[in-house]
Structure 1
Amino acid sequence: MASSLTKDAAGTPGSQKTFFGHPRGLATLFLTEMWERFSYYGMRALLPLYLIAPGGLALDAATATVIYSVYMATVYLLTLPGGWFGDRYWGPRKTVAIAASIVMLGHLTLALPGDAVFYAGLVLVAIGSGLLKANISTMVGHLYDGPNDPRRDGGFTVFYMGINIGAFAAPLVIGTVGENVGWHWGFGLAALGMGLGLLQFLLAGKTLSPRSSEVPKPLSADERNNVIRKSLIWLLIAVVFYGIVGFSGNFTMKWATVPLTVLGLVIPIMVLGRMKRDKELTSTEQSKLSAYVWFFIAAAVFWMIYDQGGSTLAIFADGKVDNQVLGWEFPVSWFQSVNPVLVMALAPVFAWIWVYLNKKGKEPSTITKFAGGLTLVGISFFVFLLPLTASSDGSLVNPWWLVSIYFFQTVGELMLSPVGLSVTTKMAPAKYASQMMGVWFLAVTAGDSVTGLLSDAGVNLNRTGVVTLEAALAVAGGIAIFMYRRKVKNLMGEIH
């Protein structure tokens, strides 16, 4: 009921309507993000299954993993230019509206038959998602009176719930339609979800902060011309190069995937390297930046394994897991709802645990939480070895094996991801305060790029040897970070 979501602020008769005690604009952004995540995670749940299905693109598992990994890496890579457009060109509100329109167009394109059209749709969804993700969180912050507003953290928690509600419902709805009715009908349903989110965003725009319509640092005429000139030069180079490759008959999928995965590794290194070489940073800022490199590498390894929940594990589930309950067969894509429902169930528990331990003076440090998260994602792949080995003779394994893997990954996520966001804002040099959040997302890009490069090289990620190696790398990394925690703490200065 809509009336239950809004109320007058307590003790302030005649005040504006609120959303669970928060600015009414939070409801607008909550629903926009919920529908965007609904469309995104629904398509994400279908993507690897469609790529390998006989009625889909009928690709081999390695190629499907490459495409999935490149897609995921590109979404997070594009958060950097997405933030730039919001800061310098359109402003956050206009950028989100344009981004949502691009996402919807991308899903509509995916709903059409044809391989070339399909890949064009993927590109559009990646561009739109990158633009939107970088700006909508900024708009949530605009609703509050600065960083010290006591409602701010609670507002972001409510917003985060919108993400997980959309992510939970998407595989159940879009996955069911895609697998049982038709793949393209599922992609079309994702477009409908984004369309609903865009519609309510436009209709309820008056509830948003006026700051969200402002361009914080608009481009000068010279800067705009310089950007356009450089963009056209790079576009011309790409068109000429790929035109030559295509007309010569040498074009393969690798010509598209390898450059993107290499960029996904090179750009994070370049960005961090540029910051480290900046002579304007103080010695304290340089020290914190050196500590942050540890967190960044740990996060990249974490996301490399974690994001395989939608590719390696999904492909394994499609042929090796008994997805029947009491004789009823449920869609394989439903496994993708396990993580968000676990997040919604466990996030309040973890929040309570940290507060309780803090009162006792026993709350783990940031670096210890990071080490724990990385170790747990490694343990999840050690668990994966058990059903992987059991299915080697062709028998189907119990679905609870996958649930247990996702459980370890979700607990690891709750130890690492929120802490990573927090430590990124705390350790960012003043000069790069707004850019550091984009750097955090580049850790996801780097991790997915490694997965893409491995698959492009022909490595079968569903082999026990590879899974063991990844699991051991994560656990060893977690142990190493824990052992060197004092050194990292010293580099962090007053941040703990």
Structure 2
Amino acid sequence: MWERFGFYGMRALLTLYLANHFLFSQGTSNGLYGAYTSLVYLTPLIGGWVADRYLGSKGAVKLGAVLMSIGYFTLCFGGEQAKPHAIIDGQRYEVVIGGERGQETPPQYAVIDGRQLQIRGNDDKTVSLLAADGSEARKVAAGSFRSDADRSPLFVLVMLLGLSAVSIGNGFFKPNISTVVGTLYAPGDRRRDAGFTIFYMGINVGSLLSQFACPLLAVYVGWWAGFLLAAVGMVCSWALVQFDGGKLDGYGEPPAGVADRRLLIIILAVLAIPLMYLLFSNVLASGDAATKAAREGAGVLGYIASLPVLGQLMFGSFLLAVIGIPVWAWRIGNRQEFQMMMVAIILVVFNVVFWTLFEQAGSSLTFFAQSNTELDIGAYTMPAAQVQVFNPLFIVMFAPVMGWLWGVLGRKRLEPSIPVKFALALVGAGAGFLVLVFGTQFAGDNFKVALVWVAATYLIHSIAELCISPVGLSMITKLSIARVVGLMMGTWFLSIAVAQYVAGIVAQFASVETVGGQVTNLKVSLDTYTGVFQTIGLISVGIGVVLLILSPLIKKWMHGVQ
């Protein structure tokens, strides 16, 4: 619970922190967010291997907790907000941000000849500069206004090092805490499922609490306070394992007969932080280049060439896995084993589609909440980052219901097969966005939709998550040839990492122009988000329907695996 408290608390803040404090463009913020979340799912492949060979799962958990704590504490030191400026007709002008603390969309003013002129974007991509009485003092032609900021290289360095430490620490923590829980029960112990149910609820309780509390501190105290709360949560996580009163003695210990490599592993983990920093720096330097290449029709090769190093490595290794593993299975396995491995690979690919859409929560959906959602619900104004709390809230509410439903259907031999559950999840992911698109037609004169439509999207996505998330790892272990179960598990996590990265790319397409971190034309913003959400929603529903049609054949190739 405490580890998820820290992780999801920071995750709730990240894109808005990048856009509103460092004043990166939405495209750059979404790209960094996608890179970070992809590494969160990629580093556990190494962390799990190190734990199995040398550290033991308990030692890896403690090392991961320390590194993540250091990362969150590092993020508290963001320095002063970046200084925005605008380039108008080739000349640079200072930009002043108005409003009060707690106001998430304050007005921006360009300082021209000693006058503060409010910046307002127009539907035709021109920009109006308004005098104090609201009259148009100057109109800037489309393409002649560019927003940027002066940000401290030192504090950008500190922020990227913080993300790097969290990424490395997560690699040690994430795969091994589950292993510790599993070792608490002997084979055949019926309490194992109950134990993992408690574990699963702890994940969602931590997520629920942090995504409510951290955004409040960030808005009303400062970004540093939100990250500090995440760091405190991580320290609590470490303390519970470190000072366990002997309750974990004998569980998750290093393998017998292996030399103590803890100091070397700690040194290598610390040295890996600069490597992660270089990957993040490359993503930051690339900016929106890949998105621009895609929009300009550069083609597949041109698009891949424009990707940051992390993206090229991610896509290259995933393509190698999904092509190479079936070829290998065809050569060394019998017909049944080959068909089962093909099913596993097919579902891995569909898994990428689902998580690409689902992970819009931390990027495009959060920016949509900030600019185009009515967050004032009467007695309370919800911070934009806080809308992510709907997901764990609905998971806690509906996980028992879905478990009961599957049980009832199973006893009647009506429970959907694994491919059908995957198909339902894809249809649900797309339907969630289409519901939000439908809700945009009821937007008010301020081009903002009611919060209930965003909540409905999270509700549908949460139910879809419950269709796919619990069965994925189990499916891989049952379908894989015994000799490559570990490789297939790695491919599964790689698929999620790729999905996280692609989610950042999709979010870049939904990015809108900002000044001082704020959207200046809410109509253009609403139209942009609506177009992207409708596109990915329809694509996901279509892919889900295709999988549903293919599910009888896929089920046949599973040869009785349930």
Query: Structure 2-normalised TM-score?
Result: 0.73
Q: Which residue of 2 aligns with 1:111?
A: 76
**C-alpha distance after superposition, 1:2-34 (max 9, x if no partner):** xxxxxxxxxxxxxxxxxxxxxxxxxxxxxxxx1
Change over 3 Å in CA distance of 1:208–1:269 after alignment to 2: farther
Q: Which residue of 2 aligns with 1:163?
A: 203
Q: Which residue of 2 aligns with 1:187?
A: 227
Q: Which residue of 2 aligns with 1:491?
A: 557
Change over 3 Å in CA distance of 1:273–1:468 after alignment to 2: same
Q: In the alignment, is the contact (CA less than 8 A) between 1:100 and 1:128 conserved in 2?
A: yes
Partner residue of 2:54 out of 89, 94, 103:
89
Matched, 1:481 2:547: yes
Q: What secondary structure is seen at the aligned counterpart in 1 of 2:252? A: helix
Q: Distance in 1 between matches of 2:288 and 2:55?
A: 34
Deviation at 1:391, TM superposition (A): 4.6
Matched, 1:433 2:485: yes
Q: What secondary structure is seen at the aligned counterpart in 1 of 2:374? A: coil
Change over 3 Å in CA distance of 1:396–1:464 after alignment to 2: closer
Partner residue of 1:465 out of 508, 513, 531:
531
Q: Which residue of 2 aligns with 1:313?
A: 365
Change over 3 Å in CA distance of 1:392–1:450 after alignment to 2: farther
Deviation at 1:51, TM superposition (A): 1.5
Q: In the alignment, is the contact (CA less than 8 A) between 1:389 and 1:464 conserved in 2?
A: no
Greater strand share, 1 or 2?
2
Deviation at 1:218, TM superposition (A): 5.7
Change over 3 Å in CA distance of 1:416–1:458 after alignment to 2: closer
Q: Distance in 1 between matches of 2:489 and 2:45?
A: 9
Q: Which residue of 2 aligns with 1:8?
A: none
Q: Which runs of structure 2 are paired with 1:404-423 in the superposition (5 Å)?
A: 404-423=456-475
Give % identity. Answer: 32
Change over 3 Å in CA distance of 1:437–1:137 after alignment to 2: farther
CA RMSD of aligned residues (A): 3.3
Matched, 1:363 2:415: yes
Partner residue of 2:318 out of 265, 268, 272:
268
Q: Which runs of structure 2 are paired with 1:235-314 in the superposition (5 Å)?
A: 252-253=286-287, 258-278=308-328, 279-314=331-366
**C-alpha distance after superposition, 1:57-106 (max 9, x if no partner):** 11221111111111111100112111111112312111111111000000
Range that drifts further, 418-427 or 457-466: 457-466
Partner residue of 1:60 out of 9, 25, 30:
25
Q: Which residue of 1 aligns with 2:89?
A: none
**What amino acid sits opposite 2:201 in the alignment?**
M
Q: Which runs of structure 2 are paired with 1:324-343 in the superposition (5 Å)?
A: 324-343=376-395
Deviation at 1:290, TM superposition (A): 0.2
Q: Report the structure number with the largest CA radius of gyration.
A: 2
Unpaired runs of at least 5, structure 2: 79-154, 290-305, 513-524
**What amino acid sits opposite 1:315 in the alignment?**
F
Q: In the alignment, is the contact (CA less than 8 A) between 1:357 and 1:363 conserved in 2?
A: yes
Q: Distance in 1 between matches of 2:438 and 2:309?
A: 35
Q: Distance in 2 between matches of 1:216 and 1:302?
A: 41
Change over 3 Å in CA distance of 1:347–1:353 after alignment to 2: same
**C-alpha distance after superposition, 1:286-309 (max 9, x if no partner):** 221100122111111000000001
Q: Which residue of 1 aligns with 2:213?
A: 173
Q: In the alignment, is the contact (CA less than 8 A) between 2:348 and 2:492 conserved in 1?
A: yes
Q: In the alignment, is the contact (CA less than 8 A) between 1:75 and 1:126 conserved in 2?
A: yes
Change over 3 Å in CA distance of 1:464–1:321 after alignment to 2: closer
Deviation at 1:396, TM superposition (A): 2.1
**What amino acid sits opposite 1:201 in the alignment?**
V
Unpaired runs of at least 5, structure 1: 1-33
Range that drifts further, 425-434 or 347-356: 425-434
Q: Which residue of 1 aligns with 2:142?
A: none
Q: Distance in 1 between matches of 2:332 and 2:250?
A: 34
Greater helix share, 1 or 2?
1
Q: What secondary structure is seen at the aligned counterpart in 1 of 2:308? A: helix
Deviation at 1:219, TM superposition (A): 9.1
Change over 3 Å in CA distance of 1:433–1:293 after alignment to 2: closer
Q: What secondary structure is seen at the aligned counterpart in 2 of 1:484? A: helix
Aligned residues between the structures = 450
Matched, 1:123 2:88: no
Q: Which residue of 2 aligns with 1:351?
A: 403
Change over 3 Å in CA distance of 1:158–1:455 after alignment to 2: closer
**C-alpha distance after superposition, 1:363-406 (max 9, x if no partner):** 11111111111100010111121344555964322111110000
**C-alpha distance after superposition, 1:435-477 (max 9, x if no partner):** 4333222222121222334456787695333222211221111
